């Protein structure tokens, strides 16, 4: 666990450093300081409010034990939280046809799990139990804060590069202006590339870990393996409009929700589903 935290700390530091580098390239020392201050402000915002922002973005509705329609789902999460020795998280439902789920929150005491209506329609109770155990594993491993901060920062890196391109072109002479524009485009490309690589490195490793820990929490690796196969199949066929509009949130989901990104792509934020399933099947003695 210490090794994972060290890796995450290095990756998050790289995001902040990249943010500063983009600011420096576009605005010199002053630009770098502004970018670093923005990075600090965004990290602070992400720490306290990112969970609420993401839940609101997806139109998530909180449910309780009294909700007859989702009582079984709520009770499943409650039982799994007890198995994992976690505080009871808030439980949300997203009115979305694409089958998917995610966890968020800055720590286990302020955690939330959310599942789409679509995932409840295609999975059996046993498979849904496996999925929610996976999400609670993210909570237990304290992945939720890391994933939301990395998503926020990845989007911000591209935004600051675009800002520099729009407002940094007012130079004397067309040659200098054209050069600045070219540099801005190059920085924008590199920012997207670096942010994608950083998110990929964070998310892929943690998905494997959450699969393993989730299988241990549910005591049923085959249930999660079966669920992943079903979700992978249906997620390709059903567009998630919110995820498409906010692709930086895709790495929070149990399966990549983006229709335009191949699951086998170099920049996919998730490991290959086939590899995840194989590892889970191998856990069964």
Rg (CA), the chain: 20
Question: In the beta sheet, which residues pair with residue 63?
Answer: 91
Q: Which residue has the tokens 């498409």?
A: 244
- CA 43, 48, 54: angle at the middle one, nearest 5? 90
CA–CA separation, 104 and 249 (whole Å): 11
Helix (H) or strand (E) holding 217: helix 174-218
Cβ neighbours of residue 85 closer than 8 Å, sequence gap 6 or more: none
Q: Is 135 a catalytic residue?
A: yes
Which residue in the list 135, 176, 216, 248 is annotated as catalytic? 135
| Lookup: tokens for 33 | 């300081």
Q: Which residue has the tokens 């911000």?
A: 156
Question: Are residues 225 and 280 in contact, defined by beta-carbon separation less than 8 angstroms?
Answer: yes
3-class DSSP assignment, residue 271: coil
Start-to-end CA span in the chain (Å): 25
* Adjacency order of strands within the sheet including 61-63: 61-63, 90-94, 111-116, 101-105
| Lookup: tokens for 111 | 């955690």
Which residues are identified as catalytic?
135
């Amino acid at each position: 666990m210490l090794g994972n935290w060290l890796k995450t700390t290095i990756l998050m530091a790289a995001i902040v450093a990249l943010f500063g580098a983009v600011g420096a390239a576009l605005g010199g020392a002053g630009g770098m300081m502004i970018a670093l201050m923005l990075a600090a402000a965004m990290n602070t915002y992400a720490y306290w409010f990112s969970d609420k922002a993401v839940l609101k973005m997806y139109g998530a509705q909180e449910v309780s034990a009294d909700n007859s329609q989702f009582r079984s789902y709520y009770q499943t999460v409650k039982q799994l939280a007890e198995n994992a020795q976690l505080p009871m998280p808030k439980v949300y439902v997203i009115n979305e046809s694409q089958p998917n789920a995610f966890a968020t929150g800055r720590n286990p005491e302020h955690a939330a799990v959310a599942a789409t209506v679509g995932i409840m329609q295609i999975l059996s109770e046993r498979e849904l139990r496996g999925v929610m155990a996976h999400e609670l594993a993210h909570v237990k491993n304290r992945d939720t804060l890391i994933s939301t901060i990395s998503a926020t920062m990845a989007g911000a890196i591209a935004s600051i590069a675009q800002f520099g391109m729009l407002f940094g072109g007012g130079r004397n002479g067309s040659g200098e202006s054209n050069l600045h524009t070219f540099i801005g485009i190059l920085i924008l490309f590199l920012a997207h590339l670096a942010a994608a690589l950083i998110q990929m490195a964070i998310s892929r490793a943690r998905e494997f870990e959450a699969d393993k820990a989730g299988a241990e929490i549910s005591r049923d690796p085959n249930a999660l393996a079966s669920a992943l196969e079903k979700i992978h199949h249906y997620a390709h066929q059903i567009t998630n409009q919110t995820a498409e509009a906010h692709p930086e949130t895709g790495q929070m989901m149990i399966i990549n929700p983006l229709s335009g990104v191949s699951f086998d792509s170099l920049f996919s934020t998730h490991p290959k589903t086939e590899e995840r399933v194989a590892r889970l099947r191998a856990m069964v003695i």
